[in-house]
A = this chain, B = another copy of it.
Amino acid sequence: MSNVDASRAGATTHAPAAIFAALGDRTRLSLIHRLSDGRPRSIASLSADAAITRQAVTKHLNVLEEAGLVASSRMGRESRYSFRPEAIEEIRAYLDEVSRQWDDALGRLKSFVEK
């Protein structure tokens, strides 16, 4: 289990850095891309056309899950991973904050120059 305490009800505030880090890998990014069509997939299915081992894919999926980007549920003998858009929204909010601060700075500079 992760040390991020994903079991704490509601407050699943996966630090932005962790989410960014999870997205900072080509393989994981392509997994996200494929899962973002809404269709849950098994590990075997996801590693079928991959150049790496099923075990490697499993590790990547674990990273994505701990970051809150995907969710898994066991269905019989296979575990299906599905995309979780909440995490995306979380870092989108973070980016908005950075952009807002930047825009504010631009605004102040502009009004200063005009004065």
Are B26 and A17 neighbours in the complex by a CB distance under 8 Å?
yes
Copies per complex of this chain: 2
Question: Cα distance A102–B38 when bound, in Å?
Answer: 6
Indicate which residue in B15, B26, B88, B95 contacts A98 across the interface (CB closer than 8 Å). B88
**Inter-chain contacts of A29 with B (CB < 8 A):** 16-17, 20
Q: Is A13 an interface residue (CB 8 A)?
A: no
Q: Is A4 an interface residue (CB 8 A)?
A: no
Given contact pairs A16-B29, A23-B17, A26-B17, A99 touches B105 in the complex (Cβ within 8 A): no
Number of interface residues of A (CB under 8 A): 32
Q: Min CB distance, A16 to chain B, in Å?
A: 7
Indicate which residue in B23, B37, B83 contacts A20 across the interface (CB closer than 8 Å). B23
Are B101 and A36 neighbours in the complex by a CB distance under 8 Å?
yes
Query: Can you list 16 A-B pairs with a CB-CB distance of less than 8 A?
Result: A17-B24, A17-B25, A19-B24, A20-B21, A24-B24, A33-B98, A36-B98, A36-B101, A36-B105, A37-B102, A38-B109, A39-B105, A85-B102, A88-B95, A88-B99, A92-B99
